[in-house]
Copies of this chain bind each other. A is one copy, B any other.
Amino acid sequence: METQIPEQIRPDQENPLHSVDALLQAWPAMSAAERSLAFHGLQRSDAEDLFLAMGAADQAEVLHEISPVEKRTWIRLLAPDDAADLLQELNFEERSWMLALLDDITRREVTALMAYAEDEAGGLMNSRFVRLRPEMEVDEAITYLRQQAKTHVETIYYAYVLDSEQKLLGVASFRQIFSAPPDRRVREIMETDLKVIPDDMDQEEVSRIFSQNDLTAMPVVDAEGHMKGIVTVDDIVTVVQEEATEDFQKMGGTEALDAPYFQISFLEMIRKRAGWLTILFVGEMFTATAMGYFSKEIERAVVLALFIPLIISSGGNSGSQATTLIIRAMALGEVRIKDWWRVFMRECASGITLGAILGLIGLLRILIWPARKTLYGDHYALVAASVSASLVGVVLWGTLAGSMLPFLLRKLGFDPASASAPFVATIVDVTGLIIYFSVASLILGGTLL
């Protein structure tokens, strides 16, 4: 098979970015054959840049293709936290094989990092940071930092001051040390008003703290206050993207894919989609049951059936709006569990207003439709009133169900993002039918029904 490198990845004079970047961008959309060809076509230094910039899953794929002898030099390029992420992508056998390729110190660090879950602070952090002693003088500290600058520490821009038991006493930014008089002690210039992250904090929480504080790096400590590593803001960008993707996919009514669209296997994708789709389908079967109760009404007034899709979809759409707004507001910390009553009151008002708008449009649609008599019969005005009144009820109900469900789920310990648009629509469909036929019986009783 002849494989062509896609157009985007050819060096492009208009593009101010380097071709390694172009490759990086095209990577997720490339086939395995294209990737292999492109990677091996690069100069060593470019290939290294590309490798270091990739995500762990892509790195694992690239390493797979590399001969056993060369693997060592590639895996040793990685910082301990990145190496740990990469190893977590491998099966047990490959993992121990790769661990054996690391030097002793790194192996110990990587093993310690792998004990943390991927989505907690400990799984994000880098264990190589600059340590200072409180009694060091500033010029000693600068000399020390100068040596460290040549090694593999993640950043020299923050130096952490630890006591003899590795407990964190303070932090000094490089800038502070650098602009201080040379004979001051580190103890005198360090910040002690510290923001620290517990090593078991969820990564979503960590990213919230970063984005609220505009920090570049934060120290991670264990329950006893021992400093374990640092998390840097560039890792946080990835976390924020991942978390948004997860919520996004849940919102659309699938399980989170946890892999790029073209990289997940077909069967795995079907499994993740079929699960929710089946649950929703089984839930939606209750509509058939509910409709069964009203089949006599439909028989007597077929005209009622005509508006069923319109009414239930309006409930679903308004519910979908409400649930999306609330889930996102919760994820951003704008709305908390204790706000449920304020949200309830606000959504009551929204639901009535939105329902009234749609109800009015629906009313006019039937009343002024040219063929209204032939299509909807002599009682078309009463039909219009039934549809219109039902719309107000269904939209109000959809809005309330959609906005309260995320609170209920969070209260019960589930992820509020599971209150997806399709989930809410399903709940609202069954009840929407009941509202519609009840209102219709009330208004059309004695005439059509």
Question: What residues of chain A have their CB less than 8 Å away from a CB belonging to chain B?
Answer: 6, 8, 16-18, 21, 24-25, 28-29, 52-53, 145-146, 149-150, 156-157, 174-175, 178-179, 193, 195-198, 207-216, 221, 233-234, 236-238, 240-241, 244-245, 247-249, 251-254, 257, 260-262, 266, 269-270, 273-274, 276-278, 280-282, 284-285, 287-288, 291-292, 295, 298-299, 302-303, 305-310, 312-314, 316-318, 320-321, 323-329, 332-336, 338-339, 342-343, 346, 349-350, 353-354, 357-358, 361-362, 365, 375, 420-422, 425-426, 429, 433
Nearest-neighbour CB distance to chain B for A252, whole angstroms, equals 2
A97: min CB distance to chain B, Å: 27
Q: Across the interface, which residues of B come within 8 angstroms of A146, CB to CB?
A: 178-179
Q: Contact at A234–B216, with CB atoms within 8 Å? A: yes
Contacts of A306 in B (CB 8 A): 288, 291-292, 295
Q: How far is the CB of A32 from the nearest CB of chain B, in Å? A: 14
**Residue in chain B with minimal CB distance to A311:** B284
Q: Please determine whether A254 and B321 come into contact, CB atoms closer than 8 angstroms.
A: yes
Q: B329–A198 contact, CB under 8 A?
A: no
A334-B261 contact, Cβ under 8 Å, with A306-B291, A306-B292: yes
A145 shortest CB reach to chain B, Å? 8
A contact patch SS: helix
- CB <8 Å contact, A425 and B281: no
What residues on B are CB-neighbors of A16 within 8 Å?
195-198, 221
Indicate if the CB atoms of A25 and B208 lie closer than 8 Å: yes
Q: Hey, which chain B residues are within 8 Å of A357, CB to CB?
A: 274, 277-278
Which residues from B are CB-within-8-Å of A156?
175, 178
Give bound CA distance, A28 to B309, whole Å.
38
- 9 of the cross-chain contacts (CB-CB < 8 Å) are A28-B333, A29-B339, A247-B248, A248-B324, A251-B251, A252-B321, A274-B354, A317-B422, A320-B422
Q: Nearest 5 pairs between A and B by C-beta?
A: A252-B324, A244-B244, A287-B309, A28-B334, A261-B329
**With the chains together, A342 CA to B288 CA distance in Å?**
37
Cβ-neighbour of A321 out of B261, B277, B358 (below 8 A): B277
Q: Across the two chains, which residue of chain B brings its CB closest to A235?
A: B214
The reply to whether A212 and B21 contact each other, CB–CB distance below 8 Å, is yes
- Per the bound structure, the CA–CA distance linking A240 and B244 in Å amounts to 9
> Of all chain B residues, which has the CB nearest A212?
B24
Chain B residues with CB below 8 A from A150, complex form: 179
Task: Write out the residue numbers on chain B whose beta carbons fall within 8 Å of the beta carbon of A342.
Answer: 262
> Within the complex, which residue of B221, B254, B308, B324 is in contact with A325, where a contact is CB–CB below 8 Å?
B254
Residue from B6, B18, B178, B323 in contact with A149 in the complex, judged by beta carbons closer than 8 Å:
B178
Known: A28-B332, A350-B270. A324 touches B260 (CB 8 A): no
With most chain B CB atoms within 10 A of its CB, the pick from A174, A257, A321 is A321
